[in-house]
């Protein structure tokens, strides 16, 4: 264990205060670990979104050992229950609390007002405060890579996309995918089926079957279960995993997966708390910062296709390529972003149209 100067100062201050303020005595020693709380929307065993956050939590534990102690609460519904959970964590002496779902935004802000000395970090939201930071991943960058592979590998020129809900985060993924796909294969089309659920293995499998029956030979998804990968494996078409590496569900069909990686961010932020440099920032990291990663490309993909995929990764990382670089048009043929420009972050975060190459109309 390392005792930093800040810790020492804190400890001394607390010791001094302990005589008059017995309440503070619990924090009297520098050896006290920083208590970190995590609030999850799903089960840690979902092998998708929540699982990846929990991998991040474990990384923090592995890195800091005795200096931290972490707690997580899983399956917290988005609503009033969340406020109670966050409040309890704050009362129990947690110094840093991560709330990892969009719907936890307002409860987090509310509780943060009551506990100005506790630091909060909220994933995928947009409301910040003096002690509330936000963070999210630029998952659409991963979709650009996936779209490149899919455009190269499709023979039927039909790609099936299983969507959860028509919200900007999902829509910008579909668009980034389609733009990249059309760049390598202008004939290819994307067909979208919305299952109106984040997680329903049966329905996701049915949607995959329907898309394959309609001629799709690559399936990609913005839902959380590996069921579509299993269907793709059985039917002998390609698929792209979501949130985590899903290779074992379809070793022959799994091209790659857009993986969400929170480890580095969590470890860095905890270090900043230790160093006293933590600020209520807004972080939106992509491939370059390591918050989004691609699962290893399937070795069965031709070498030139894998090279093209790697090129896309490298270009996005270096800033040479922007997933929403113009010129591109919406479905009605109107130019949304002219040549030489790229869609701004605000435009990406509020995307509510399909680009050219997506079939059907976006449910409003």
Q: Minimum Å distance from CB 163 to other proteins?
A: 8
Contacts of residue 99, defined as CB under 8 A and 6 or more positions apart, other chains included, come to 39, 82, 86, 105, 107, 108, 120, 121, 122, 123
Instruction: Give dist(CA 308, CA 21) in Å, integer.
Output: 63
Choose the binding region for other proteins from 64-72, 271-279, 316-324, 353-361 (rule: CB under 8 A): 353-361
Number of helices (H), then strands (E), belonging to the chain: the values are 11, 14
Does 347 interact with other proteins (rule: CB under 8 A)?
Answer: no
75, 198, 317 from 244: Cα distances, Å: 19, 15, 20
- Number of alpha carbons in the 13 Å side-chain half-sphere of residue 312: 29
The answer to the question of residue 81 lying near other proteins (CB under 8 A) is no
Spell out the residues 6+ positions from residue 305 whose beta carbon is closer than 8 angstroms to its own: 149, 152, 153
Contact region with other proteins (CB under 8 A), list: 57-65, 188-196, 264-272, 290-298:
188-196
Interaction of residue 249 with other proteins, rule CB under 8 A: yes
Q: What string of DSSP letters covers 243-261?
A: ES--GGG-TTTEEEEEEE-
**Nearest approach, Cβ of residue 261 and other proteins (Å):** 17
Residue 219 φ then ψ, to 5°: -115, 130
Q: Tell me which stretch binds other proteins (CB under 8 A): 31-39, 121-129, 207-215, 284-292.
A: 207-215
Which part of the chain contacts other proteins (CB under 8 A), choosing from 39-47, 100-108, 294-302, 318-326?
A: 39-47
State the minimum distance, in angstroms, from the CB of residue 213 to other proteins. Answer: 5
Of 134 and 247, the one with the shorter C-beta distance to other proteins is 247
Q: Of 58, 63, 128, 191, which lies in the binding site for other proteins, with binding defined by CB under 8 A? A: 191
Regarding 364 and contact with other proteins (CB under 8 A), the answer is yes
Burial of 150 per CB tally in 10 Å (0-12, 13-18, 19+): buried
Give residues with Cβ within 8 angstroms of 271, minimum separation 6.
none
Spatial CA neighbour of 357 closest among 331, 325, 338: 331
Q: Residue 24, interface with other proteins (CB under 8 A)?
A: no
Check residue 252 for interaction with other proteins (CB under 8 A): no
Size of the site for other proteins (CB under 8 A): 41
Residue 177 within binding range of other proteins, rule CB under 8 A: no
Closest approach of other proteins to the CB of residue 357, in Å: 12
Residue 78 contacts other proteins per CB under 8 A: no
CA 136 – CA 123 distance, rounded (Å): 6
User: Residue 126 in contact with residue 281, Cβ under 8 Å?
Assistant: no
Single out the segment in contact with other proteins by CB under 8 A; choices: 105-113, 116-124, 226-234, 264-272: 226-234
Give bridge partners of residue 292 from the DSSP assignment: 260
Q: What is the three-class DSSP state of 280?
A: coil
Question: From the list 11, 93, 103, 166, which residue makes contact with other proteins (rule: CB under 8 A)?
Answer: 166
Q: Is the CB of 214 or the CB of 318 nearer to other proteins?
A: 214
Name which of 173, 170, 162 is nearest 140 in CA terms.
173
Query: Using the rule CB under 8 A, is 58 a contact of other proteins?
Result: no
Asked if 211 touches other proteins (CB under 8 A), the answer is yes
Handedness of CA 41, 47, 52, 55 (dihedral sign): positive
Binding other proteins (rule: CB under 8 A), the pick from 131, 225, 256, 298 is 225
For other proteins, give the closer residue by CB, 151 or 241.
241
Question: Which residues would be at the binding site for other proteins (CB under 8 A)?
Answer: 43, 45-47, 51, 160, 166, 191-197, 199-207, 209-211, 213-214, 216, 225-227, 230, 234, 248-249, 359-361, 363-364
């Amino acid at each position: 264990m390392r005792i930093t100067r800040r810790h020492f100062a804190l400890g001394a201050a607390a010791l001094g205060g302990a005589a008059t303020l017995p309440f503070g005595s619990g924090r009297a020693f520098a050896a006290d670990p920083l208590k970190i709380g995590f609030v999850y929307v799903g089960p840690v065993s979902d092998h998708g979104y929540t699982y990846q956050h929990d991998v991040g939590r474990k990384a923090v534990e592995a890195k800091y050992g005795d200096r931290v102690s972490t707690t997580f609460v899983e399956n917290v519904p988005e609503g009033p229950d969340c406020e109670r959970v966050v409040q309890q964590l704050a009362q129990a002496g947690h110094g840093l609390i991560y709330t990892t779902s969009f719907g936890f935004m307002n409860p987090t802000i509310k509780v943060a007002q009551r506990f100005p000395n506790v630091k909060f970090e909220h994933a995928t939201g947009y409301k910040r405060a003096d002690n509330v930071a936000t963070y999210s991943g630029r998952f659409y960058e991963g979709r650009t890579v996936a779209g490149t592979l899919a455009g190269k590998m499709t023979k039927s020129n039909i790609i099936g996309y299983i969507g959860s809900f028509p919200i900007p985060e999902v829509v910008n993924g579909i668009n980034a995918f389609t733009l990249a796909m059309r760049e390598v294969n202008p004939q290819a089309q994307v067909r979208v089926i919305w299952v109106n659920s984040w997680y329903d293995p049966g329905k996701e499998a049915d949607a995959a079957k329907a898309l394959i029956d309609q001629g799709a030979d690559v399936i990609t998804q913005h839902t959380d279960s590996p069921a579509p990968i299993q269907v793709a494996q059985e039917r002998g078409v390609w698929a792209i995993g979501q949130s985590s590496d899903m290779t074992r569900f379809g070793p022959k069909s799994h091209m790659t997966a857009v993986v969400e990686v929170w480890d580095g961010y969590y470890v860095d932020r905890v270090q900043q708390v230790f160093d006293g440099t933590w600020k209520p920032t807004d972080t939106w990291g992509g491939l370059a910062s390591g918050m989004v990663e691609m699962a290893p490309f399937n070795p069965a993909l031709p070498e030139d296709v894998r090279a093209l995929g790697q090129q896309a990764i490298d270009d996005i990382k270096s800033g040479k390529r922007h997933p929403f670089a113009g010129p591109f048009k919406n479905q009605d043929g109107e130019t949304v972003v002219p040549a030489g420009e790229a869609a701004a972050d605000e435009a990406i975060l509020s995307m509510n149209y399909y680009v050219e190459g997506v079939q059907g109309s976006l449910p409003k």
